[in-house]
Amino acid sequence: MSNTASATDARTPPVAVWQILEKLRGQDLVDWRVAPLDERPSPAERGLDIGFPYGWYALEQADFVTIGQVKPLRYFAQDLAIWRGEDGRVRVTDAWCKHLGAHLGHGGKVHGNLLECPFHAWRYDGEEGVVKDIPYAKAIPPQVKRKCLRTWPVTEANGWIWVWYHPDQTVAPLWDVVVHEEYGDPAWTDYAMHEWIVYGSIQNMAENGVDVAHFKYIHGTADVPKAELRWGEWGRGADVRAQMGTPTGVVDGLISYDTMGPGQSWVRFRGISETLLVASLVPIEEDVLRVRYGFVQPKAQAEGPDAGLARALVRDICKQLDQDKVIWDRMRYEPNPIICDGDGPIPQFRQWYSRYYAVSAAAQP
């Protein structure tokens, strides 16, 4: 999780990146967040050709595919097809039909729980990855009677459709998606969503949280926030206690962020305004990352007299991602960084994060 600690003070003087951001208001800012970034160096030149870390990723919100719908997807530098069968379950497979290579997600049809190719109607089972039916043939070729199409482990939680990514498709999920009780609680709002495209890697984004020195120079916090870091087997987190400036005075705030794998992270804010931020971070290409932030808040607070404060907190968190994006879009992954004594535990973070790479050459300092 990035930059959460700097949510503590939004009213410090402008810092370097504001030269870019201060001109952007309203729709211009929303457009800038997802705009193409042309003429960038290749992923190899920027040290981003290190593969994707494995884990569960929240690809889309649950209503992205309704029963009987099929859609194309592109994540992890691959074309995929996603559909929801009559039984209500979502399937995700590789996109290309084994027959003559049509894209199953463009014009395919859901047939019961099977996905029918748009070209010649071969019907695939999305769990087994086999062809179950060819309406115009007497016999199904043996090569497609056994597993021939990659199927991705799928689960639904927190209003999102998750897939398990691992470069070795035989590796089953190593942990479960963490369920948040606030989501779906009638006393809490539904997600307020915000979206960015970051032209960088998910690891660079994750490193931001332990890069304590940047909070001052990028986010304009007065002091380096003090964080108690937690390092688990597959997840890590931090509790940041901070004095938060509000229009009515300073309050004690607590920001807790947690991750489970590279693709699941969430942040709980307590103090000014209770908020749960659920982040979806999914690589599209080696140097393109789709980032969505969903915020839920207690209705009593989001719709009550303190609604302004609740909205201001969300705005401030989004602003910090804007500030980091200016750097992330252009930075290179420096595999051998020179670290000074004021830096946070960046080498420790990289050592720890290297567990998510099947071939772990990339992450060492």
Q: Name the minimum Å distance from CB 128 to Fe ion.
A: 44
Binding mask 103-122 for ligand FES (x = CB under 6 A): --------------x-xx-x
Helix (H) or strand (E) holding 256: strand 249-259
Q: Is the CB of residue 161 less than 8 Å from the CB of residue 62?
A: yes
Span from 33-41, 99-107, 188-196, 243-251 in contact with ligand FES (CB under 6 A): 99-107
Q: Is the CB of residue 90 less than 8 Å from the CB of residue 161?
A: yes
Q: Name the minimum Å distance from CB 104 to ligand FES.
A: 7
Nearby residues of 44 by Cβ (< 8 Å), 6 or more positions away = none
Which of Fe ion, ligand FES, none does 122 bind, CB closer than 5 to 8 A by kind? ligand FES
Q: Is 32 helix (H, G, I), strand (E, B) or coil?
A: helix
Q: Within the chain, what is the greatest distance between any pair of CA atoms? A: 77
The amino acid at 108: G
Q: Nearer to ligand FES by C-beta: 131 or 302?
A: 131
Does 97 contact ligand FES by CB under 6 A? yes
Measured at the CA of 345, the angle between CA 344 and CA 351, to 5 degrees, comes to: 150
Q: Is the CB of residue 74 less than 8 Å from the CB of residue 108?
A: no
Does 161 contact ligand FES by CB under 6 A? no
Which of ligand FES, Fe ion, none does 3 bind, CB closer than 5 to 8 A by kind? Fe ion
Which of Fe ion, ligand FES, none does 352 bind, CB closer than 5 to 8 A by kind? none
Q: Name the minimum Å distance from CB 122 to ligand FES.
A: 4
Q: Nearer to Fe ion by C-beta: 186 or 342?
A: 342
Does 75 contact ligand FES by CB under 6 A? no
How many residues touch ligand FES under the rule CB under 6 A: the total is: 9
Which of Fe ion, ligand FES, none does 97 bind, CB closer than 5 to 8 A by kind? ligand FES
Q: Nearer to ligand FES by C-beta: 74 or 120?
A: 120
In b/e form, how buried is each residue of 93-121, taking b as 16+ CB within 10 angstroms?
bbbbbbeeebbbbeebbbbebbbbbbeee
Choose which of 35, 100, 251, 254 interacts with ligand FES (CB under 6 A): 100
Does 99 contact ligand FES by CB under 6 A? yes
Tokens 């919100």 found at: 61
**121-150: contacts with ligand FES (CB under 6 A):** 122
Please, what is the angle between helix 26-34 and helix 307-328, to 10°? 40
The C-alpha torsion from 340 through 344 and 348 to 351, rounded to 10°, is -90
Q: Nearer to ligand FES by C-beta: 71 or 99?
A: 99
The amino acid at 134: I
Does 241 contact ligand FES by CB under 6 A? no
Question: Edge-to-edge strands of the sheet including 154-157?
Answer: 55-61, 160-165, 154-157
Q: Nearer to ligand FES by C-beta: 150 or 355?
A: 150
Q: Name the minimum Å distance from CB 136 to ligand FES.
A: 10
Q: Name the minimum Å distance from CB 105 to ligand FES.
A: 12
Nearby residues of 249 by Cβ (< 8 Å), 6 or more positions away = none
Nearest to 262 by CA among 2, 7, 37: 2
Q: Name the minimum Å distance from CB 240 to ligand FES.
A: 52
- Rounded Cα distance between 46 and 40, Å, is 9
- Rounded Cα distance between 152 and 126, Å, is 8
Question: What are the residues binding Fe ion (CB under 5 A)?
Answer: 2-3, 208, 324
Q: Nearer to ligand FES by C-beta: 137 or 361?
A: 137
DSSP 225: P
Which of ligand FES, Fe ion, none does 117 bind, CB closer than 5 to 8 A by kind? ligand FES
Q: Name the minimum Å distance from CB 121 to ligand FES.
A: 6
Q: Name the minimum Å distance from CB 98 to ligand FES.
A: 7
Helix (H) or strand (E) holding 309: helix 307-328
Give how far the C-alpha of residue 122 lies from the chain's centroid of Cα atoms, to the nearest Å. Answer: 33
For ligand FES, the binding residues (CB under 6 A) are 97, 99-102, 117, 119-120, 122
